[in-house]
Amino acid sequence: MILRIFLILTLTQAVLPAQSDDGPFPPHKIIGNIYYVGSAELASFLITTPRGHILINSSYERTVPLIEASVEKLGFHFRDINILLDSHAHGDHVEGNPLVKKLTGATVMVMQGDEKSVPGSIDRVLRNGEQVKLGGAVLTARLTPGHTRGATTWTTKVTEGGKTYDVVIVSSINVNPGYILVNNTKYPEIADDYRRAFEVLRSLPCDVFLAPHGKQYGLAEKYSKLGAGPNPFIDPQGYKAYLDNGEKLFLGKLEEQKRGGK
């Protein structure tokens, strides 16, 4: 009995903070054939094609019904998701993978380096630069490691109003609390990997940038401007500012840990 109460308390504590982040957000078209189908905090992107759809990020298992409802609300069918991809192998982006696969039969593709950390079965392990193609959509998987070993930034091109735009769906450049950048025995090359990620991200042409957490790319603010004037998601300056800020935070933490002699 005591054990049971303990377990319930532990589970509740583990679940509650994340759940409060996990409310619904209006599904919407971002640009071209890319749609937002995630929650208020956790971003999931749907790339639609005449041959079925691609979903990026299953989020938590409990987020999957919300994603499903968003897809259907936009007039698409959840069961038409043929390919499931992710930003990186942290639970808030991939925990729902087995459920999405069960409900849709989607082919699951994961970047090399993250394949052991993603729950459920994986159908294809991707290498840096490989392309995922479906019904005319082409997504390129770019390894931008550090946040995880297989952290994946997705790039694609979309057309809207006769113009072509470069879209970059950034993996994550955050250095999470508790990350060890100096003398990390489990991930010795972590700092070099972050540097490599920034180098890759800076080399990418970008008109529209997206990320696995809405607040990383200004989701709420940009969404509120939709329909009034130019597409608010076209934001090359925002992308540069995001990288500048992320790199500054990374270098600051690196220096701090070097000084700390860790």
Q: Total residues at the site for Zn ion (CB under 5 A)?
A: 1
Q: Which is nearer to Zn ion, 88 or 101 (CB)?
A: 88
- SS3 label, residue 34: strand
Span of 84-92, 129-137, 202-210, 229-237 interacting with Zn ion by CB under 5 A: 84-92
Q: Which stretch binds Zn ion (CB under 5 A): 77-85, 90-98, 150-158, 227-235?
A: 90-98
Interacting span for Zn ion (CB under 5 A) from 39-47, 82-90, 132-140, 177-185:
82-90
According to CB under 5 A, which residues from 161 to 180 bind Zn ion? none
Contact 105, 81 (CB under 8 A): no
For tokens 């992320």, the residue is 246
With contact defined as beta carbons under 8 Å apart, do 94 and 43 qualify?
A: no
- Of the pair 52, 96, the CB lying nearest Zn ion is at 96
Residues in 110-129 at the binding interface with Zn ion, rule: CB under 5 A: none
Q: Interface with Zn ion includes 149 (CB under 5 A)? A: no
Q: Is 261 helix (H, G, I), strand (E, B) or coil?
A: coil
Least distance from C-beta 173 to Zn ion, angstroms?
Answer: 10
- State in angstroms the smallest separation of the CB of 92 from Zn ion: 7
Closest CA to 169 of 32, 73, 70, 52: 32
> Which is nearer to Zn ion, 119 or 236 (by Cβ)?
119
Q: CB-wise, 90 or 101, nearer to Zn ion?
A: 90
Which amino acid makes up residue 238? G
CA dist 16 → 53, 117, 195, 253 (Å): 32, 23, 34, 29
d(CA 36, CA 183): 39
Strand partners for 209: 168
Q: Which stretch binds Zn ion (CB under 5 A): 58-66, 86-94, 104-112, 190-198?
A: 86-94
Separation of alpha carbons 137 and 151, rounded Å: 21
One DSSP character per residue, 70-128 reads HHHHTT--GGGEEEEE-S-SSHHHHTTHHHHHHHH-PEEEEETTTTTTS-S--SEEE-T
Tell the smallest beta-carbon distance from residue 90 to Zn ion (Å): 3
Nearer to Zn ion, 52 or 150 (CB): 150
- Find the shortest distance in angstroms from Cβ 148 to Zn ion: 7
**Shortest distance in whole angstroms from residue 250 CB to Zn ion:** 14
Range in contact with Zn ion (rule: CB under 5 A) among 72-80, 88-96, 107-115, 154-162: 88-96
Strand, helix or coil at 142?
Answer: strand
Considering only 53, 90, 149, 222, the residue that binds Zn ion (CB under 5 A) is 90
Q: Which residues bind Zn ion (CB under 5 A)?
A: 90
